[in-house]
C-alpha cells in the first residue's frame, strides 16, 4: 500500500496541472451542489425555534365574497377560533403577521435604530420554542388586557442596552413605551414565522396568517381534510344566518414545504411532484457539467501515461495491478476534492451565509445555517460516489485498454 501511494504521488507530481485541475473541479462540483442542497433544505427542515415544522399547517389568507364579488384578507381571531374549535388532531393554533414589520426602536435619548417587529398572540410561544436567556414570554392574559410588553432578541438588547440582562427595562417602539419581559437567543431569518428582532402582543385584534400545530400522533393530511370540513361547516352557518359575505373554499391549509413553494398564488396547492422534478434536473446539471469536464481531463491524463504503464508491464506489472493503481489514484483524487469542496461549503455556510440566505432589509440579525439540519451526510456520500464513478469511467476504461496492450506497443506510444 505504501509503495502504491508513493507511485500515485510521483504520478501526480509528473502532471501537476492536470492533477490540481481535477481536484479543483471535483471540489467545485461538491461545493456547488452542497450549497444548493442546503438552500433547499433550510426551507423545510426543523431547527430551533421551528422544531415543529413537520407538524405545522398554514392558512395565509381568508377569502370571502358573494356571487358577484370576492375579497381576500388576513385571518382574524374570531374566525380562526370558530374554524379551529372542532378540528380533530389539532393541538393548538395561533395568528401572526406573515412578515415582520420594520419599526423605529430606541431607549431613553439614544439615536433610534430600525428593527423587525412581529405581533403575536399568547399561543405563539407554545408553538415556537424560542430559547429565553432572561425572563419569559407574555401570555394570553397580557394580550387580551393590551399590556405594553415586549420580548426582544439578544442582538437588540446588546445594540440598545449593551447587555442582555434587561428584563423590566423600557424600550420605545414607534415612540410607544414597552416593558421588556423576556430576551431570547437570536433567531435566524431562515425561520419562517419564528424570526424577528422584537415580539409584541397583538392586543386581541390580530389579523394575519393562521398557524396550526397538529398533535404529535396525528396524520397531517387527516388534519388538512378535517380543516376543509370545518370550513364547510362555517360556510353553512354563514349561509343560514343570511351573511352577505360567505367564506370561499381555498386550497389551504399548507404544509411547511407547500407554504414555501406557494409564491403569490394562494388559491392553489403547489405541485410537489413538479418541484421534485425541477430539483432533480438542477442537481443533475450541477453534477454533470463539472463531471464531463473532469472526464476529459482524466482521459487526457491517462493517454499521456500509456508509456509509463508500458514500463510497469515490461518490469512484470500485471494488468490487474495496473488497473487497481489507477482505481486507487482516482479514489484519492476524488476524496481530496470532496473534502476540499465540503470544507468550502461548510465555511461558506458558517461565514458567508448572508450572501445567499440573508435579507438586505434586515437591520440587526444575521443568518445562521444549522449545518447538521441542512446537510445530510448520506446525501454528501451519494455526491462523492457519483463523482468517483464518473472519474473512474473516464480514466478506468483507458487504463484498462492500456493495461491490455503489449509492453512493446505501449512503450512506442508518444506522450
Angle, helices 377-404 vs 306-314, to 10°: value is 70
The answer to whether the CB of 391 falls within 8 A of the CB of 296 is no
Same domain, 143 and 195: yes
The rounded distance, in Å, linking the Cα atoms of 187 and 100 is 13
Same domain, 17 and 39: yes
Strands 176-184 and 132-135: antiparallel
pLDDT score recorded for residue 131: 94
Residue 49 lies in a domain: no
The rounded distance, in Å, linking the Cα atoms of 64 and 43 is 30
Cα–Cα–Cα angle for 30, 32, 33, nearest 5°? 70
Neighbouring C-beta atoms of residue 372, cutoff 10 Å: 9
The answer to whether the CB of 201 falls within 8 A of the CB of 170 is no
**Nearest of 275, 307, 285, 295 to residue 414 by alpha carbon:** 307
Same domain, 106 and 91: no
Same domain, 36 and 122: no
Same domain, 220 and 122: no
Residue 290 lies in a domain: yes
Residue 70 lies in a domain: yes
**pTM of this structure:** 0.75
The rounded distance, in Å, linking the Cα atoms of 366 and 115 is 12
Q: What are phi and psi of 37, to 5 degrees?
A: -65, -45
| Number of domains observed in the structure of the chain | 3
Residue 368 lies in a domain: yes
Q: Tell me how long the chain is.
A: 415
Q: Residue 112 sits in which domain range?
A: 98-205
Give the CA dihedral 17, 20, 22, 27, nearest 10 degrees: -150
Write the secondary structure of the chain as one string of H (helix), E (strand) and C (coil).
CHHHHHHHHHHHHHCHHHHHHHHHHHHHHHHHHHHHHHHHHCCCCCECCECCHHHEEEECCEEEECCCCEEEECEEHHHHHHHHCCCCCEEEEEEECCCCEEEEEECCCCCCEEEEEEEECCCHHHHCCCCEEEECCCCHHHHHCCCCEEEEEHHHHHHHHCCCCCCCCEEEECCEEEEEEEEECCCCCCCCCCCCCEEEECCCCCEEEEEEEECCCCCHHHHHHHHHHHHHHHHHHHHHCCCCCEECCCCCCECHHHHHHCCCCCCCCCCHHHHHHHHHHHHHHHHHHHHHHHHHHHHHHHHCCHHHHHHHHHCCCCHHHHHHHHHHHHHHHHHHHHHHHHHHHHHHHHHCHHHCCCCCCCCCCCCCCCHHHHCCHHHHHHHHHHHHHHHHHHHHHHHHHHHHCCHHHHHCCCC
The rounded distance, in Å, linking the Cα atoms of 81 and 411 is 84
Residue 50 lies in a domain: no
Same domain, 336 and 387: yes
Same domain, 24 and 76: no
Same domain, 31 and 67: no
**Nearest of 138, 133, 164 to residue 151 by alpha carbon:** 138
Cα–Cα–Cα angle for 341, 44, 119, nearest 5°? 125
Q: Kindly give the confidence (pLDDT) of every residue in the chain, 415 residues in length, as a single tens digit, with 9 standing for 90 and above.
A: 566 566 666 666 666 776 777 778 778 878 888 888 877 877 888 888 999 999 999 988 777 766 666 667 778 888 888 889 889 999 999 998 888 888 988 887 678 888 999 999 999 999 999 999 999 999 988 888 889 999 999 999 998 888 999 999 999 998 899 999 999 999 888 888 999 999 999 875 667 889 999 999 999 999 999 998 888 888 888 778 777 667 776 667 899 988 888 765 656 667 778 888 888 888 888 777 766 666 666 666 666 666 676 777 677 767 777 777 777 777 777 788 888 888 888 787 777 666 655 543 444 555 455 555 566 677 777 777 777 776 666 666 666 666 676 666 655 655 5
Same domain, 192 and 322: no
Residue 261 lies in a domain: no
Strands 113-120 and 101-106: antiparallel
Cis peptide before 30 (omega within 30 of 0): no
Residue 52 lies in a domain: no
Same domain, 170 and 235: no
Residue 90 lies in a domain: yes
Of 188, 222, 253, the residue that ends a domain is: 253
The answer to whether the CB of 18 falls within 8 A of the CB of 297 is yes
Same domain, 340 and 277: yes
C-alpha cell belonging to residue 345: 461549503
pLDDT score recorded for residue 133: 95
Same domain, 85 and 224: yes
Amino acid at each position: 500500500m505504501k509503495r502504491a501511494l508513493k507511485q500515485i504521488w510521483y504520478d501526480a507530481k509528473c502532471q501537476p496541472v492536470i492533477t490540481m485541475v481535477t481536484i479543483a473541479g471535483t471540489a467545485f462540483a461538491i461545493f456547488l451542489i452542497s450549497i444548493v442542497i442546503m438552500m433547499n433544505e433550510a426551507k423545510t427542515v426543523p431547527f430551533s425555534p421551528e422544531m415543529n415544522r413537520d407538524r405545522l399547517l398554514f392558512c395565509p389568507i381568508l377569502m370571502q365574497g358573494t356571487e358577484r364579488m370576492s375579497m381576500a384578507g388576513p385571518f382574524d381571531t374570531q374566525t380562526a377560533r370558530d374554524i379551529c374549535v372542532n378540528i380533530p388532531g389539532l393541538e393548538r393554533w395561533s395568528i401572526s403577521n406573515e412578515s415582520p414589520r420594520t419599526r423605529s426602536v430606541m431607549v431613553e435619548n439614544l439615536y433610534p435604530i430600525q428593527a423587525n417587529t412581529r405581533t403575536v398572540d399568547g399561543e405563539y410561544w407554545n408553538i415556537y420554542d424560542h430559547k429565553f436567556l432572561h425572563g419569559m414570554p407574555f401570555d394570553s392574559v397580557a394580550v387580551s388586557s393590551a399590556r405594553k410588553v415586549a420580548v426582544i432578541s439578544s442582538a437588540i438588547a446588546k445594540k440598545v442596552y449593551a447587555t442582555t440582562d434587561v428584563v423590566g427595562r423600557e424600550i420605545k417602539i414607534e415612540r410607544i413605551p414597552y416593558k421588556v419581559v423576556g430576551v431570547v437567543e437570536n433567531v435566524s431569518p431562515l425561520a419562517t414565522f419564528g424570526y424577528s428582532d422584537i415580539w409584541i402582543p397583538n392586543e386581541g385584534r390580530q389579523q394575519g396568517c393562521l398557524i396550526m400545530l397538529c398533535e404529535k400522533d396525528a396524520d397531517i393530511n387527516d388534519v388538512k381534510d378535517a380543516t376543509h370540513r370545518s370550513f364547510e361547516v362555517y360556510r353553512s352557518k354563514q349561509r343560514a344566518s343570511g351573511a352577505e359575505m360567505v367564506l370561499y373554499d381555498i386550497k389551504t391549509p399548507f404544509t411547511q414545504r407547500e407554504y414555501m413553494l406557494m409564491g403569490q398564488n394562494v388559491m392553489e396547492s403547489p405541485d410537489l411532484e413538479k418541484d421534485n422534478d425541477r430539483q432533480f434536473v438542477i442537481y443533475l446539471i450541477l453534477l454533470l457539467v463539472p463531471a464531463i469536464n473532469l472526464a476529459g481531463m482524466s482521459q487526457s491524463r491517462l493517454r499521456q501515461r500509456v508509456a509509463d504503464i508500458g514500463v510497469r508491464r515490461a518490469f512484470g506489472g500485471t494488468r490487474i495491478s495496473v488497473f487497481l493503481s489507477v482505481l486507487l489514484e482516482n479514489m484519492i483524487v476524488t476524496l481530496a476534492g470532496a473534502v476540499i469542496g465540503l470544507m468550502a461549503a461548510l465555511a461558506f455556510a458558517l461565514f458567508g451565509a448572508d450572501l445567499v440566505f440573508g435579507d438586505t432589509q434586515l437591520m440587526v440579525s444575521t443568518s445562521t445555517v444549522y449545518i447538521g439540519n441542512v446537510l445530510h451526510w448520506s446525501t454528501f456520500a451519494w455526491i462523492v460516489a457519483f463523482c468517483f464513478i464518473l472519474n473512474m469511467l473516464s480514466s478506468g476504461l483507458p487504463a484498462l485498454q492500456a493495461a491490455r496492450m503489449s509492453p512493446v506497443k505501449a512503450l512506442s506510444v508518444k506522450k
